[in-house]
Structure 1
Amino acid sequence: MTPRRQVGILAGVAGLCLVPFAGRSLSPDEGGLLLLASQWSPGSSLYGDYFVDRPPGLIALADLADVAGGGWAFRALGIVAVVAAVLLSGVLGRLAAPGRPSAPVLTAATAALLTVTPLFGGTVVNGELLGLPFLVGGIVAALCAVRADSGRAALWWGVLAGAAGASGALVKQSLLDVFVFAAVLALVSRRVRPVLGIAVGAVATIGFALWVASTRGTDPGELWDAVVVFRQQAASVIASSATDSTTRRLGSMLLALLLTGAPVLVVVLARRLPERATPGVVDLRWPALATLGWELFVVLGGGSYWLHYLMGLVPALVLLTAAACQRTLPGQRLLRATYALMAVSTIGALVVVGVRPIQRPEHPVVHWLDAHKRPGDTAVVAFGAPNILQSTGLRSPYPDLWSLPVRVHDPELRDLSALLEGADRPTWVIVAGRSLGSWGIDGSTANRVLAEHYDRAATTDDWTIYREVGR
């Protein structure tokens, strides 16, 4: 069987592994993005009437899925991203080590095993997953630019790399992997022309995206505040209000990384990196290590430590595989054992999540509201879980759908208190637990206002539902 066919099979199998999860209930982030995208037009906040600290590329992809069918289309978009990332990883392996037939198979296998594992958050759709094809594609284009025989080809491949890299950053602002890779690659190869092309492609892509976003009411200045300034403020809030749950999430994330077998792969492959690369190839050792360093910084530096952050390590791990293929590979027995370990981990995790689906604590709330809501009702979810709003079709008059923006924008809940006291107060207020207070949030005033204007209507295990007095 040819390497190209093997890569195609790996991509197909990776996509099929995610099909059984396509119809499952949306996670809070998935539901929130679809809700936000569905009303993206000039409004009172960054994206319509809602705020999220993410660039417009991610919202555009969610909007595409919303138009195409909603939740199932969003999951289908994630499957397409996985298949594309695996295929592009195979291309990267072929370009990196053209004289080694196993190279594209190994790079594709690395991508396939890690993009579908639930330990990397692979069964739900997130920014890291949707950004993968842009990142791997941009890395492929940057490598082609350096390998190009003519200056014109190098320039145009650079433009494509810059456009792909900018597209990744427009999905999530920390996905700068292509630019880190390209900068180190330019130093190693001593090729300048591709850098010019990358700059042109990136600037053109970002400029076009900002123009399109502005036509839908998203101001470039406010966008800068959201994706750059806000993230700095959020990091400060997280650092000053770190809780035991944050520490536990860090431990869980590191354990998940260990269980995938990815660290074993890194150790096995890295032992070969000190060797010289095969003559005639562009050595990817230092670009791969630089990219891995950047991705580790992003995963560990954010402070939130959600499992899907680990998906951001995939491009560097694929690159590390490609760099190792440019050298004498470890013994076949050791290499097969390493990939077998990763395969067992991925299959085991998929089976566990398949047999025992992740329980969504929002389900009882959604069922109760579906049975009791009336036309024209509105709701505020305090705080997070915007999938409740998306599932019930309710709109929120409060712009912050996620909890972190509340902690940064409204930590004393003054805006929320004013809303609950005003004439346009929501019909329903859904509270995580019993109090509006939480880490980084002073809920004393808002709790008093809530008690004055709302009655407790129902209680689930994790949520309390309040209804406006007189409704």
Structure 2
Amino acid sequence: MPEPAGADPGAPVPAPPRPGPVALVVVLVSALVAAAARLPATGTALRPDESGYTLVARAWSPTAESPFGRYWVDRPPTLVLAFRLADLVPGGHGIRWFGVVAALLAVLVAGLVGREVLARVRPDATPGRASMVVALTALTAAAFVATPQIDLQLTKGELLALPVLLASVWLVLRAVRTGSVPAALVAGVLAGLAPGLKQSLVGAAVFGLALLLLERLGGRLDTRGLVRLGGAFVAGGATPVVGTLVWALVAGVRLGALWESVVGIRGQAVGVIAGGPLGNVLRRAAELALATVTTGLALVLLALLVHVVRQGRRSSPLARAALVMAVVDGLALLLGGFFRLPYLFAMVPSAVLTVALLLAAAPAGGRVGRLVPPGLVAVVVASAAFSGVGWVRDLGRFERPPVAVMAGRAIGAVSQPGDSLTAVLGNADLQYSSGLPSPYEYLWSLPSRVRDPDLIELAGVLRGPDAPTWVVTVYDIRAVQGARAADDLDAALAGRYVDVGPVCGGRHLWRRADRPRPDPVRDCAGLRRGFGQP
């Protein structure tokens, strides 16, 4: 939509009418539904990533060569801090409760985003339009957060950062409308905080910078306003980065080691992924593409592209900034190479912005133009509701512990104080559920494959004084790491370990010969009976 006629550079835009009570009820109910959809996850076993991050957080003791000490992970300290705080919640599912809160806050903030978008696009809006924009924007956010097609169990950086990203978008919009430097500063802090939860979540930073520059080019901001708001936004964005660097220096962590953990490994990891089995990558990419379509996310973002193209030079800075944000987030998702479903949460702020923008800009006359934006919302909500019915029907299946968790518990049940366990190439949920520490620093496959490709470090651990009591293999080492790594691992095991045999889930178990222990229950049926599962 073009600039409002007669807009003066730097002049604050008045706030739109407050949404009515019905709209506020819709926002609140949407937020509660989004939170409630994640409540069943607070009673189910943690997934591998959640388990691994929790173990890293519990053992967090930084050294010069490792930001986290005992275990090495390619994630920022902010994420590990979030898991450490979550671990303080009784019950062992604190991170899932954090996910419930994140879902609730994301929907509430989405309503605020809708109101600010309306103030920018149509400052003379009627109370009825204000109510519609706010309510439907929040409803859209709730549908994306609560759809089982993305993930209703796993809580990681993508979900935790969602309210942070949306809050940054809201505040930078508010800063442009009011000229508020504090709002721009806090927006920058939040934009800089998001990559601390997942490195690729730069969308809010990109949106804020793009919006400020485009508003200046469009004449909505004068140079002085750009310097004031842009400077505050950049300063805020730098604050979490500087804070992390200061922490590293105080904790005695080498900045090079911090860089390797947060940034340096990413390029090597992409190479390892590309060199691995192509079938797994293509399968995950296909699942991600399908979810992008079936959730309505692709349709919403396509509508944004069509809107900007049709408006051409008359398109608003807000619309173009939203498109830039969507493109950058999409590229970050694709370049990551893993194609996990929760990565789609990174695209939700762009989708929320799009829906708010199209609802606010819809013409009062003309049936097609007026009905398309609510139609997009209807598609997104219907998709979430339809998939939710199937998810509720299969809820019992989701509540069963994975075989890795049951196997870990079985090993832990026959272990003694001082025992330890190492899962070769990582199986963090098995490690976590066993209750046993690992003397090997890698809890995931990818860091191990990148930093210990020939498993020389692992073989040294198995031959050393702190060799684990139990060793579990999940993968075909010869196929994944090559003949050299497999032969070295076999030699280390043969010289010191007893072959216990296969365990549930295709895993294989070894025990140190000098640590006699009863054999754990190893078949899946026996494990399910032991843990009260059908």
Question: Which has the larger Rg?
Answer: 2
The answer to whether 1:465 aligns with 2:509 is: yes
Aligned residues: 464
Q: CA deviation at 1:213?
A: 4.8
Corresponding residue of 1:170: 196
Q: Which stretch of the first structure deviates more once superposed, 192-201 or 28-37?
A: 192-201
Distance in 2, matches of 1:69 and 1:299, equals 34
Give the fraction of aligned pairs with identical amino acids, expressed as a percent. Answer: 32
The answer to whether 1:249 aligns with 2:284 is: yes
Corresponding residue of 2:215: 189
The answer to whether 1:452 aligns with 2:495 is: yes
The answer to whether 1:10 aligns with 2:30 is: yes
Report the 3-state secondary structure (helix = DSSP H, G, I; strand = E; otherwise coil) of the residue aligned with 2:38: helix
> 2:52 is matched by which residue type in structure 1?
G
Corresponding residue of 2:140: 110
> 1:125 is matched by which residue type in structure 2?
T
Distance in 2, matches of 1:438 and 1:47, equals 30
The verdict on how the C-alpha distance between 1:282 and 1:353 changes in structure 2, with shifts beyond 3 A counting, is farther
Q: CA deviation at 1:61?
A: 0.4
> 2:167 is matched by which residue type in structure 1?
G
2:45 to 14, 22, 25: 25
The verdict on how the C-alpha distance between 1:207 and 1:267 changes in structure 2, with shifts beyond 3 A counting, is closer
Distance in 1, matches of 2:426 and 2:291, equals 24
1:302 to 336, 349, 367: 336
Whether the aligned pair in 2 keeps the contact of 1:457 and 1:466 (CA below 8 Å) is yes
Corresponding residue of 1:62: 83
Corresponding residue of 1:343: 384
Whether the aligned pair in 1 keeps the contact of 2:139 and 2:381 (CA below 8 Å) is no
Q: CA deviation at 1:409?
A: 0.4
Write the mapping of 1:316-395 to structure 2, written as runs, cut at 5 A: 316-328=350-362, 330-331=370-371, 334-335=375-376, 337-348=378-389, 350-357=391-398, 360-395=402-437
Q: CA deviation at 1:353?
A: 4.8
Deviations 1:284-307 (A, max 9, x none): 211111111111112211111111
Whether the aligned pair in 1 keeps the contact of 2:295 and 2:380 (CA below 8 Å) is no
Corresponding residue of 2:468: 426
Distance in 2, matches of 1:298 and 1:376, equals 43
Provide the aligned C-alpha RMSD in A: 2.3
When normalised by structure 1's length, the TM-score is 0.92
The verdict on how the C-alpha distance between 1:199 and 1:322 changes in structure 2, with shifts beyond 3 A counting, is same
**Gaps spanning 5+ residues in structure 1: where?**
none
The answer to whether 1:261 aligns with 2:296 is: yes
Corresponding residue of 2:185: 159
Q: CA deviation at 1:103?
A: 1.3
> 2:271 is matched by which residue type in structure 1?
S
> 2:42 is matched by which residue type in structure 1?
A
Distance in 2, matches of 1:16 and 1:244, equals 36
The verdict on how the C-alpha distance between 1:372 and 1:304 changes in structure 2, with shifts beyond 3 A counting, is same
The verdict on how the C-alpha distance between 1:308 and 1:438 changes in structure 2, with shifts beyond 3 A counting, is farther
Report the 3-state secondary structure (helix = DSSP H, G, I; strand = E; otherwise coil) of the residue aligned with 1:324: helix
The verdict on how the C-alpha distance between 1:349 and 1:60 changes in structure 2, with shifts beyond 3 A counting, is farther
The verdict on how the C-alpha distance between 1:141 and 1:32 changes in structure 2, with shifts beyond 3 A counting, is same
Distance in 2, matches of 1:447 and 1:340, equals 53
Report the 3-state secondary structure (helix = DSSP H, G, I; strand = E; otherwise coil) of the residue aligned with 1:2: helix
> 1:16 is matched by which residue type in structure 2?
A
The verdict on how the C-alpha distance between 1:218 and 1:105 changes in structure 2, with shifts beyond 3 A counting, is farther
Write the mapping of 1:100-139 to structure 2, written as runs, cut at 5 A: 100-101=129-130, 102-139=132-169
Corresponding residue of 1:284: 318
Q: CA deviation at 1:265?
A: 3.3
Q: CA deviation at 1:240?
A: 2.6
Whether the aligned pair in 2 keeps the contact of 1:386 and 1:401 (CA below 8 Å) is yes
Report the 3-state secondary structure (helix = DSSP H, G, I; strand = E; otherwise coil) of the residue aligned with 1:381: strand
> 2:492 is matched by which residue type in structure 1?
V
Q: CA deviation at 1:185?
A: 0.4
The verdict on how the C-alpha distance between 1:345 and 1:383 changes in structure 2, with shifts beyond 3 A counting, is farther
Whether the aligned pair in 2 keeps the contact of 1:22 and 1:76 (CA below 8 Å) is yes
Corresponding residue of 2:58: 38
The answer to whether 1:89 aligns with 2:110 is: yes
The verdict on how the C-alpha distance between 1:286 and 1:349 changes in structure 2, with shifts beyond 3 A counting, is farther
Q: Which stretch of the first structure deviates more once superposed, 2-11 or 236-245?
A: 236-245
> 1:331 is matched by which residue type in structure 2?
L
**Gaps spanning 5+ residues in structure 2: where?**
1-20, 120-124, 363-368, 516-534
Q: Which stretch of the first structure deviates more once superposed, 75-84 or 355-364?
A: 355-364
Q: Which stretch of the first structure deviates more once superposed, 340-349 or 61-70?
A: 340-349
> 1:90 is matched by which residue type in structure 2?
G
Whether the aligned pair in 1 keeps the contact of 2:205 and 2:237 (CA below 8 Å) is no
Q: Which stretch of the first structure deviates more once superposed, 167-176 or 333-342?
A: 333-342
> 2:114 is matched by which residue type in structure 1?
G
Distance in 2, matches of 1:220 and 1:322, equals 42
Distance in 1, matches of 2:335 and 2:88, equals 35
Distance in 1, matches of 2:184 and 2:247, equals 23
The answer to whether 1:72 aligns with 2:93 is: yes
